[in-house]
Amino acid sequence: MKPKLYLLSLLLIFSCIKSQAQTSVSISFPADSGSVKISKYIYSHFAEHLGRGIYDGFYVGDTSKIPNTHGVRNDVIAALKKMKIPALRWPGGCFADTYHWKDGIGPKDKRPSIVNRWWGGTVEDNSFGTNEFLNMCELLGAEPYISGNVGSGTVQELSDWVSYVSSDNKNPMSDLRRANGRDKPWNVKFWGIGNEAWGCGGNMAPDYYANEFRKYSTFMPGSDNTTKIYRIASGANSDDYNWTETLMKQIPLNLIEGIALHYYSVIDWDHKGPSTKFNEQQYFTTMKRALFMDTLITKHSRIMDKYDPKKKVGLVVDEWGGWYDVEPGTNPGFLFQQNSMRDAMIAGVTLNIFNNHCDRVRMANLAQCINVLQAVILTSGNKLILTPTYYVMEMYNVHQDATLLPITINSDDYVLGNEKLSAISVSASKDKNGVVHISLVNIDPDHVHKIKLNLNGKKFAAVTGRILVSAKVQDYNSFDNPGKIKTVAFNGAALKGDGLDVSLPGASVVVLTLNN
């Protein structure tokens, strides 16, 4: 045998031995049926005027040769409807606090162009504005979540926006809406009162923003005072627990329904690293950052519990996801990055964390939906690909509005050098038909983990499943090979007496269905 072939054979043998290594994980299934609902809004998304997120992403205009409905790509509509997107946040992000909504209504040839000062300094013609966004949400079957301008706007401006989209009485704003071709209001429920007020939204101190929020919230009635709106405060950046404490202490509970939290799984803000050509240490660090979401939610929730023990106010994680260096040769201000199996791991463990904290987490918005950061869809001309993150979100939609089944897990570790992380992440729910779904993630890229679930005497007739997995965590779908990674049937689970045995491959996401 030639030396090169011999060496290759040894590498293949070593790879097989490594991939077949097995450890054991035990999971205790709850004896009770659970009582807390996993809000469908945990599976929501975010679309900012940033790079090719809106223009060339969602919106191509009604004169485009790309099949569209009122300018919105038909392939995007179909993909997001299949994923069951419950809510979509818009127009930002940082962009929201420089956006004046009246620039984006009325005849398109009369709308002023604006410079996107935050993202690349591009000139936008405002052809995609309030009417286009809200009509698009109707096409998607998604509820709109509008982020209002507090940083450079006024109370009157935001109050008028609420009236324009939600009032059915005769008044200047409803008359303006009708003049622009929409008779009945959209009745928008979710409203963000500014974005990142601690940073790009105005560099405000928490005490100052708390007072601003109180003022803005006071002048935001629902649709003619009949529809209750959901007012979301600009919340903390990561582990700024003082921000949460200040807002919860100073804002009366009758003026607030939600408080935001922003957190990204970033290796290092100054050295984010590549999206696909990363090493195992970079992968490990990313997963460590992703798992830190559990600590953040636990600590922020604990603060909220002090002032809101009945959990009236929801925690809204309206920006989360992986953030890397942009793809080589692309505009740095467009935040375009590829989406690999690493991102599927981020999505899987983060959604499990949200599910398990659904008593306080009422909404979360992946950043972002198309062509920006951890996107579920990437487009190029008339081409569209679905990313690994898309498939995780689509598999997990079985948890939407299902009842959480609390699970106790004793996980083995994913070890790299002197560091270790829990290898297995899990959440479970029971839907309205009594069907149980269990989502499992193995972040360990090199080892199969054998899992035993104790069903505590519960009897199930059958188990089926789907899996997302690939040869390497660096793998991704490209425009040349759009189907490289996709879900397939999973046959690695078997019911045995009062238990369920699962063989979970390395770096995989699995969703199981247990039928009675």
Q: Is 280 a residue of the active site?
A: no
The answer to whether 312 touches 231, Cβ cutoff 8 Å, is no
Number of Cβ atoms within 10 Å of the Cβ of 289: 18
- Residue 232: partners with Cβ closer than 8 Å, 6 or more residues away: 145, 190, 191, 192, 193, 257, 258, 259, 260, 316, 318
The answer to whether 348 touches 293, Cβ cutoff 8 Å, is no
Q: Is 319 a residue of the active site?
A: yes
State how far the Cα of 389 lies from the Cα of 290, in Å rounded to an integer: 14
- Nearest Cα residue to 386 out of 395, 375, 402, 401: 375
What DSSP designation does 109 have? G
Q: Which helix (H) or strand (E) holds 82?
A: helix 74-83
- Residue 407: partners with Cβ closer than 8 Å, 6 or more residues away: 27, 28, 29, 30, 356, 426, 427, 428
- Residue 82: partners with Cβ closer than 8 Å, 6 or more residues away: 394
Q: Which of 196, 212, 257, 394 does the annotation list as catalytic?
A: 196
Q: What are phi and psi of 364, to 5 degrees?
A: -150, 145
What DSSP designation does 180 have? T
Number of Cβ atoms within 10 Å of the Cβ of 434: 11
Q: Which of 124, 257, 319, 394 does the annotation list as catalytic?
A: 319
- 431 to 37, 44, 271, 437, 461: CA distances (angstroms): 10, 19, 42, 8, 16
Place of tokens 């106010």: 313
The answer to whether 437 touches 493, Cβ cutoff 8 Å, is no
Cα pseudo-dihedral 50, 53, 54, 57, rounded to 10: 150
The answer to whether 240 touches 198, Cβ cutoff 8 Å, is yes
Give the rounded distance of the alpha carbon of 146 from its chain centre: 16
State how far the Cα of 410 lies from the Cα of 446, in Å rounded to an integer: 20
The answer to whether 363 touches 401, Cβ cutoff 8 Å, is no
Q: Which helix (H) or strand (E) holds 90?
A: strand 87-90
State how far the Cα of 126 lies from the Cα of 130, in Å rounded to an integer: 10
- 277 to 231, 273, 372: CA distances (angstroms): 41, 8, 18
Q: Residue 224 is encoded by which pair of tokens?
A: 């003619």
The answer to whether 317 touches 354, Cβ cutoff 8 Å, is yes
Q: List residues with catalytic annotation.
A: 196, 319
